[in-house]
Amino acid sequence: MRWPVVMAVGLVGMMGRLAAESGMPWQVFQSEGATASIEATNVPGAFRVSGQGPTNSYVGVYQTRPVEPGKSYRAVLRTQVIQPGGGRGQWSLEWKDAGGGEIRRVWGPDWSLAAAEDRPQAQVVTGTAPPQAATAHLVVTFFPEPTPATNGVFVIFDATWETE
C-alpha cells in the first residue's frame, strides 16, 4: 500500500505546522539556538529548507504516520541541493509508542550540501516497526554550519510511505 506523504506549501509560525494540501502536515523542529527557514517554492508542493545555528545544531521537519508492529516500511524522499554550501541533510524514521515515546530510530542516508544538483535525488530509508510501535515519524534533519552565509539550501519535493 502506498500513501502520499503530504507536501508543504508554507509555514505558520516558526515551530508551527506547515500548511498542507492534503493528508498529515509536516511539523517543524529545531535545536536550542537554531533557526529554521522553510519556504514555499514555485514548484507546487515543494519547499526549501535551510537554517542556521551554533555548532552541532539542527533544524528540520517531520510527519507522523500510523504503523503496525512487525510490518516493514519504506520511505522515499526526493530532495535537491539548489544552493551549494556547508551543512548536511539526513532522512530517518523514528518508531513511537502510543504515548509518543521513541522506541527506536533508523538513520537513513546522509547527504552533503557541498554541490548543487541538476535534478532531485531519492533518499531511501526502510525499517520494520518494532513491538509496541503505534506510529513512525518520517524525519528530515538539516545540520547547518555555524556560519549562516556559507550554508547550502535544499528543496524537498515529495515523499512516499509504503509497506514492503
Domain residue ranges in the chain: 2-163
**Could you read off the pLDDT of 94-134 as tens digits, one per residue?**
999 999 999 999 999 898 989 999 999 999 999 999 999 99
Check whether 141 has a pLDDT greater than 80: yes
Given this model, what pLDDT does residue 103 score? 98
**Could you read off the pLDDT of 60-91 as tens digits, one per residue?**
899 999 999 999 999 998 899 988 988 899 99
Return d(Cα 40, Cα 42) in angstroms, integer.
7
Return d(Cα 77, Cα 112) in angstroms, integer.
15
pTM (two decimals):
0.80
Buried (b) or exposed (e) across 76-91, using 16+ Cβ within 10 A? bbbbbbeebbbbbbbb
Q: Does domain 2-163 have CATH number 2.60.120.260?
A: yes
Average pLDDT, rounded, for the chain = 81
Given this model, what pLDDT does residue 10 score? 31
Buried (b) or exposed (e) across 6-38, using 16+ Cβ within 10 A? bbbbebeeeeeebebeeebbbbbbbbeebebbb
**Could you read off the pLDDT of 10-35 as tens digits, one per residue?**
333 322 333 333 345 788 888 888 88
